[in-house]
């Protein structure tokens, strides 16, 4: 007999704690004459939540009355994963979006379980009389996976290509090779959730990269486990995205039997056709400077006073402007034209709520572990000593808040950066607010006679910017160096690393645009021009005018502009060459088939 309590379950704290150590691992028999399980009191501060528990009823009765579940007589056998395991399972599922749980004991007659989402908020779970936080007010903690029609077969596979061969991915938060069995990837597309800096690559700069591992097999069928960083330098997420034509063909085949009328079909087609699978990557790898032709087209929309209504921009390429962040660097701020965007700029209250919610989570987690150390067995303390001393486990709310912090500030989340932004608001609230992500919507643009732009927002504020950028609809392996637009010539010539600073150069004979490093071009001096462009002066006396300076993202990959191969062929050849150099004894082999007797 199985029963699923959707809200969770809790036990009378007084009865339980008087006789038994909470949050144990292993089997415990409890006299259930005095134990009441109340599914409606999950958040009640007088209860202790024991999650992920398998319960076996021995010679007793299960009584359900008035939404209470009581065990009338007999004894129960508890098999619990322990609260730390439960936290690990919950956080792993939040990150992967898998919502897996360990297999229940098949011999149990009664299984009462909670969905592994109970760690939504530690403040709610561990703090008496805590307020209920609304998760929906904060960002999803992970990058969204693109629409499934735009994912290719490699994205849908669960085998990742490495220099040793193919392997399965899994997330190992606890550092025990996922002994709980909840960290396995369903498909490679889940890697989109790990691109925390949004540059289109999963690498050492991303959160949890050091927690990713691969499982493979040697030539004798023995299991091999390695850190992902041992078998790849980085993973280019653009390799998982299918072409628009393939995506549309898959969509057409999928909806062919829906029986839509012409109007409905067109509406649905326009939605999938206009979808941009790269939109979750950060703006700096998707946008490019507006050129003179772009600005001329934009000016055609202006009224007699020179203003362009934002509603006329719907359907055109998205626009962005450069904005200085808390770390002193400039980043792109994407303009929102949505009519339903809130017309306010109350950034302080938004950040303050985020700060208070996160600190409540931290305090609740630390408070729990302080009490945990007093009640847990010596065996449990020894097993989880590092986690208890430096708790890094995170609730759903904490993951959401960290993502929201990065969205608002452009900074990687750390407690030090959280305090830095808080101190900035206390020092100069207006200046700090201007560094956060815009919460209001663009209402109009004016192209000024001196070539600058005035942006007007529905909150009433107006700003002047020297340059606008447009969404290319693609994602590049290079990143706009927005800081270069604001550097002096001395700073450009003294601080730029020419080996990773890039420029797009158009071949005069073929018209082909190639991306080359400034070092490869032989750049000696850089001049800034009045129109915002750059003049690159080379060692051989040439001058090259470019709109923008870029930065190479993945410095582990070779730039092969002149290889004569397309991207896919080039990458496949390199992987094959790497495999040919690998000794058979360390190469990965397919998972051996089970042979049934």
At residue 401 the predicted structure's pLDDT band, cuts being 50, 70 and 90, is: very high
Give the residue extent of every domain in the chain.
2-119, 478-552
Residue 522: its pLDDT value, please? 97
**Residue 351 · residue 326 · CB < 8 Å:** no
At residue 591 the predicted structure's pLDDT band, cuts being 50, 70 and 90, is: confident
- Where is pLDDT greater, at 34 or 408? 408
Among 113, 266, 283, 117, CA closest to 197: 283
Mean pLDDT value of segment 278-305? 93
Among 94, 244, 88, CA closest to 175: 88
**Residue 121 · residue 397 · CB < 8 Å:** yes
Mean pLDDT value of segment 452-478? 94
- Confidence check: pLDDT of 306 > 60: yes
- Confidence check: pLDDT of 101 > 70: no
Residue 293: its pLDDT value, please? 92
Residue 555: its pLDDT value, please? 53
> The tokens of 586 are what?
């360390």
Mean pLDDT value of segment 357-375? 84
At residue 594 the predicted structure's pLDDT band, cuts being 50, 70 and 90, is: low
Residue 571: its pLDDT value, please? 55
Among 95, 254, 96, 99, CA closest to 187: 96
pLDDT by residue (tens digit) across 535-587? 999 999 999 999 999 999 865 554 433 333 344 455 555 555 555 555 666 78
**Residue 159 · residue 168 · CB < 8 Å:** yes
Cβ-based neighbour number of residue 95 at 10 Å: 21
Q: What is the DSSP letter of 592?
A: P
Residue 314: its pLDDT value, please? 80
- Where is pLDDT greater, at 130 or 48? 130
> The tokens of 81 are what?
């994963």
**Residue 165 · residue 589 · CB < 8 Å:** yes
As a whole number, the mean pLDDT across the chain is 78
State the number of CA atoms in the 13 A half-sphere of 525 facing the CB.
Answer: 8
Residue 82: its pLDDT value, please? 61
Q: What percent of the chain has pLDDT over 70?
A: 71
Residue 340: its pLDDT value, please? 53
- Where is pLDDT greater, at 480 or 66? 480
> The tokens of 209 are what?
């990269």
Least confident of 94-98, 196-200, 300-304, 468-472: 94-98
- Confidence check: pLDDT of 449 > 70: yes
In whole angstroms, how far apart are CA 568 and each of 199, 201, 510, 515, 574? 20, 16, 22, 17, 10
At residue 89 the predicted structure's pLDDT band, cuts being 50, 70 and 90, is: confident
pLDDT by residue (tens digit) across 113-148? 333 345 688 887 776 555 555 555 565 545 589 999
In whole angstroms, how far apart are CA 345 and each of 339, 418, 460? 15, 20, 9
Contacts of 319 (CB under 8 A, 6+ apart): 290, 313, 334, 335, 442, 445, 468, 469, 470, 471
- Confidence check: pLDDT of 190 > 50: yes
β-bridge pairing 2-4 and 111-113: parallel
- Confidence check: pLDDT of 42 > 50: no
Least confident of 217-221, 359-363, 377-381: 377-381
Residue 49: its pLDDT value, please? 37
Residue that the structure tokens 């959730």 belong to: 193
Residue 593: its pLDDT value, please? 65
pLDDT by residue (tens digit) across 191-205? 999 999 999 999 999
At residue 345 the predicted structure's pLDDT band, cuts being 50, 70 and 90, is: low
Calpha distance 370→20 (Å, rounded):
18
């Amino acid at each position: 007999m199985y029963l699923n309590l959707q809200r969770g379950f809790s036990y009378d704290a007084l009865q339980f704690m008087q006789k038994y150590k909470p949050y144990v691992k292993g089997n415990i028999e409890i006299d259930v004459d005095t134990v009441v399980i109340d599914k409606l009191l999950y958040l009640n501060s007088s209860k202790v939540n024991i999650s992920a528990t398998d319960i076996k009823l021995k010679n007793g009765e299960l009584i359900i009355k008035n939404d209470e579940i009581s065990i009338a007589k007999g004894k129960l056998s508890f098999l619990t994963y322990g609260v730390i395991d439960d936290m690990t399972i919950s956080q792993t599922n939040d990150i992967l979006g898998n919502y897996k749980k360990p297999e229940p004991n098949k011999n149990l007659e009664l299984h009462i379980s909670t969905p592994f989402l109970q760690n939504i908020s530690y403040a709610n779970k561990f703090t008496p009389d805590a307020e209920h936080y609304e998760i929906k007010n904060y960002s999803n903690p992970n990058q969204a996976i693109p629409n499934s029609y735009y994912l290719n077969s490699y994205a849908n596979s669960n085998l990742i290509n490495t220099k040793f061969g193919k392997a399965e991915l899994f997330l190992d938060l606890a550092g025990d090779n996922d002994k709980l069995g909840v960290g396995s990837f369903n498909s490679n597309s889940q890697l989109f959730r790990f691109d925390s800096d949004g540059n289109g690559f999963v690498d050492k700069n991303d959160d949890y990269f050091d927690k990713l591992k691969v499982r493979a097999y040697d030539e004798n069928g023995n299991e091999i486990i390695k850190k992902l960083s041992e078998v790849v330098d980085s993973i280019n997420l653009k390799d998982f995205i299918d072409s628009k034509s393939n995506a549309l063909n898959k969509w057409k085949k999928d909806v062919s039997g829906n029986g839509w009328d012409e109007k409905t079909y067109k509406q649905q087609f326009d939605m999938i056709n206009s979808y941009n699978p790269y939109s979750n990557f950060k703006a700096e790898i998707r946008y490019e400077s507006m050129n003179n032709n772009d600005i001329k087209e934009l000016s055609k929309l202006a009224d007699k006073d020179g203003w362009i209504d934002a509603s006329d921009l719907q359907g055109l390429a998205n626009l962005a402007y450069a904005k200085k962040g808390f770390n002193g660097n400039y980043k792109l701020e994407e303009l929102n034209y949505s009519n339903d965007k809130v017309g306010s700029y109350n950034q302080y209250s938004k950040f303050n709520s985020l700060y208070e919610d996160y600190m409540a989570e931290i305090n609740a987690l630390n408070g729990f572990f302080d009490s945990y150390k007093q009640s847990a067995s010596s065996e449990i303390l020894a097993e989880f000593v590092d986690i208890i001393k430096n708790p890094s486990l995170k609730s759903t709310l904490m993951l959401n808040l960290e993502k929201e912090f990065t969205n608002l500030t452009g900074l990687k989340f750390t407690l030090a950066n959280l305090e830095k932004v808080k101190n900035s608001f206390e020092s100069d609230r207006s200046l700090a607010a201007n560094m956060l992500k815009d919460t209001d919507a663009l209402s109009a643009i004016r192209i000024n006679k001196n070539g600058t732009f005035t942006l007007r927002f529905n909150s009433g504020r107006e700003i002047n910017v020297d340059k606008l950028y447009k969404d290319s609809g693609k994602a590049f392996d290079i990143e706009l160096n927005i800081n270069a637009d604001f550097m002096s010539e001395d700073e450009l010539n003294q601080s730029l690393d020419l080996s990773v600073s890039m420029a797009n150069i158009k071949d005069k004979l073929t018209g082909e645009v190639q991306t080359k490093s400034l070092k490869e071009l032989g750049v000696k001096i850089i001049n800034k021009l009045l129109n915002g462009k750059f003049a690159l002066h080379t060692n051989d006396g040439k001058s090259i005018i470019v709109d923008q300076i870029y930065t190479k993202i993945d410095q582990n990959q070779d730039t092969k502009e002149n290889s004569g191969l397309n991207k896919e062929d080039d990458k496949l050849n390199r992987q094959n060459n790497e495999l040919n150099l690998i000794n058979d004894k360390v190469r990965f082999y397919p998972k051996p088939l089970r042979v049934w007797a």
